[in-house]
């Protein structure tokens, strides 16, 4: 029995997501990621259910497990009740647990997500808190976004928000005691530990790649993982 497979089995999503795959490929046919990346969820599920230790380790260190967009279209279609998307979530959790995520270009991006979305949750209580996040990081947001950034407070007031205010409302200031509760939950349930692992393994990888590593978003390693694409990931 593969030790890695046993580790995967500890994740309730893996138990829910993998029954017995018949390799029909329906998940691949419907998969949004497979229509863009060199990606085939059927092969991933088959690799995992083979319980081959070396193959699973290779998967955990690969770009492959990071291509899924978790739209969960596979859940609807599988004729045997498997959910490749849930298997992917268990693989990604284990890849981070073991530090394997830094061995792939796409895996290394977890630091970027942790330092943006993760930090916004801890600081503000929202997954997104976008004042000051401009079209330098998000050029697709267009000139309307530039206008919104410039007149953020004015148009939020216009649209009935309670921006940074007390009490209920849109983008209200979430009370410090509520944020403290969220942070305690993070400490107790593994999120803080995962954040620390992402930082720790990323720092080691930055040293290995000889890239400057610092806090926040303004350092060589962050900029590299956020924007680098070796152009080998997509179909044709």
Partner 1 sequence: MKAEGKKAIWKEYQKEIADNRYFYVRSCVRQNFFPGSETAFLKIMREELSKNVYEHPCHTTCTGIGYHADIIPVDTTMTVVARQFALMTEAGYENLVPSCITSFGIYTEVLDTWHHFPDVEAKVREYLKKATGREFKIPKNLAHASDIFYKFRKDIAQKSKYKLIDKETGKPLKVVDHIGCHYAKMFPDKGIGGAEYPCVLTGMIEEWGGEVIDYPERRHCCGFGFRQYLVQANRGYSVACSHKKFESMEPYKPDLILTNCPGCPMFLDKWQYAIAELEGKTYGKDGYGIPVFTYEELAGLVLGYNPWDLGLQVHQVSCEPVLDKIGIEYDPKKKYADKNGNVPGIPEKPEVLKVYT
Strand-pairing partners, residue 234, are: 37
Closer of 52 and 223 to partner 1 (Cβ): 223
- State in angstroms the smallest separation of the CB of 206 from partner 1: 17
Closer of 177 and 208 to partner 1 (Cβ): 177
Q: At what angle do helices 191-209 and 220-227 cross, to 10 degrees?
A: 100
How far, in Å, are 112, 156, 230 from residue 209 at the CA level? 17, 43, 15
Strand blocks (E) in 39-143: none
- State in angstroms the smallest separation of the CB of 11 from partner 1: 7
- For residue 128, give both structure tokens: 């997104």
- State in angstroms the smallest separation of the CB of 223 from partner 1: 10
Closer of 93 and 206 to partner 1 (Cβ): 93
Long-range Cβ contacts of 45-49 (<8 Å, 24+ apart): 45/18, 45/21, 45/82, 45/84, 45/87, 46/21, 48/5, 48/8, 48/18, 48/87, 48/91, 49/18, 49/20, 49/21
CA distance 207 to 125: 32
Closer of 1 and 229 to partner 1 (Cβ): 229
Closer of 12 and 50 to partner 1 (Cβ): 12
Strand blocks (E) in 66-216: none
Cα Rg, the chain, nearest whole Å: 20
- State in angstroms the smallest separation of the CB of 208 from partner 1: 19
Closer of 147 and 200 to partner 1 (Cβ): 147
- State in angstroms the smallest separation of the CB of 134 from partner 1: 13
- State in angstroms the smallest separation of the CB of 132 from partner 1: 12
Ramachandran assignment for 131, one of left (phi > 0), alpha (psi -120 to 50 degrees), beta (any other): beta
Closer of 54 and 143 to partner 1 (Cβ): 143
Contact 123/116 with Cβ under 8 angstroms? no
- State in angstroms the smallest separation of the CB of 70 from partner 1: 5
Instruction: For Cα atoms 236, 139, 141, give the angle at the middle one, nearest 5 degrees.
Output: 105
């Amino acid at each position: 029995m593969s030790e890695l497979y046993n580790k995967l089995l500890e994740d309730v999503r893996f138990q829910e997501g993998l029954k017995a795959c018949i390799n029909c490929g329906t998940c691949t046919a419907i998969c949004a990621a497979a229509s863009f990346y060199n990606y085939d969820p059927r092969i991933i599920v088959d690799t995992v259910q083979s319980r081959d230790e070396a193959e699973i380790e290779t998967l955990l260190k690969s770009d492959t497990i990071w291509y899924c967009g978790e739209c969960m279209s596979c859940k609807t279609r599988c004729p045997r009740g498997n959910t490749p998307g849930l298997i992917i979530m268990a693989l990604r959790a284990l890849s981070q647990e073991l530090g394997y995520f830094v061995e792939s270009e796409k895996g290394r991006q977890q630091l970027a997500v942790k330092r943006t979305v993760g930090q916004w949750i801890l600081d503000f209580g929202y997954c997104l808190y976008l004042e000051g996040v401009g079209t330098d990081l998000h050029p697709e947001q267009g000139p309307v976004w530039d206008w919104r950034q410039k007149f953020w407070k004015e148009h939020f007031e216009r649209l009935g928000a309670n921006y940074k205010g007390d009490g209920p409302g849109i983008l209200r200031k979430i009370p410090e005691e509520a944020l403290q509760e969220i942070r305690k939950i993070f400490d107790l349930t593994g999120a803080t530990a995962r954040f620390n692992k992402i930082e720790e393994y990323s720092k080691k990888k930055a040293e290995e790649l000889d890239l400057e590593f610092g806090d926040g978003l303004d350092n060589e390693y962050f900029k590299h993982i956020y924007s680098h694409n070796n152009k080998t990931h997509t179909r044709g």
